[in-house]
Copies of this chain bind each other. A is one copy, B any other.
């Protein structure tokens, strides 16, 4: 991909050998300066570092990774990045891993099973030392392929009963229960749940429904929406709910987007929030505190999930096993004006 019309440009980079020659040491010593500086003599160190600066040398990590069998690469598989709740996790993990000289390869799994298969091949071809999964890694061939690599596998944003390796997340069922309890305590008896077609959103719905049922309250639900969620889904669902008999007196949404949509539609239809209808979101996205009224929601510390994942990886690289197989970061109910 080197541009033909610029082929005259000097494009060959200095190698470790050239640095070694300039510093009058062996290539091995330059390698040590780069990777284990503490074991090289101070004067040598300085001479080599000068040579590195002088030549503008940047190590070739393809060569380094091949020789050392350590790619210093972590693969993160997410459904998408356009409007993803996982982005904060990926971002904080990327920053934390960068300090340990690891780089994150983002891979998009959205777009169906065929794409997922080629995504996995593409990932494995780079020999990542760890693979972070958000969303679902379904059973089967792919999972077996990934596990077979021996790489650390971290599942995030959920607490699987049987983690593949290590998991960092929280209980979606518990979230549903907690919201149901709060809404019940506030006197709500005609709940509506908006869900999506993901296992985690469905787990929240189940938790909610079970907790309401235990209190003798039946829960209505809208057909699961596709992800990513949207304002439009919330508006649409609330409008539909109003069309069928008695409107709900509270709505538990599967995202703050949907919840904001419910807020807008309810207001347009003359409902007062929270008096006539209480609204609960999920995610505590940045805008949640700025809606009118401000959104009550469930806060997940996505950045913390990323930080913990990074720590696990770094510890493993240093030969320390993780303290446990499952890390529960919990969640927090944030009560604001809408419920």
The residues of A with any CB-CB pair to B shorter than 8 Å are 1-6, 9-11, 13, 56, 58-63, 65-66, 70-71, 80-83, 87-88, 90-91, 94-95, 98, 103-106, 108, 111, 118-119, 121-122, 124-127, 129-130, 145, 148-152, 165, 228, 230-232, 235, 257, 260-261, 264, 267-268, 286-287, 289-292, 313, 316-317, 319, 321
Contacts and interface: CB of A to CB of B under 8 A. Distances in A.
Nearest to A153: B3
Contacts of A13: 149
A121 B289 CA distance: 38
A110 to B, nearest CB: 9
Nearest to A6: B150
A127 B82 contact: no
Contact of A291 (B10, B70, B231): B231
19 contacts: A1-B152, A2-B151, A3-B150, A3-B321, A6-B150, A9-B150, A10-B150, A11-B150, A62-B62, A62-B127, A66-B66, A83-B286, A94-B108, A103-B122, A103-B126, A104-B106, A105-B106, A230-B287, A230-B290
A257 B71 CA distance: 40
Contacts of A286: 83, 228, 230-231
Q: Identify the 4 closest CB pairs spanning chains A and B, nearest first.
A: A11-B150, A1-B129, A231-B290, A61-B125
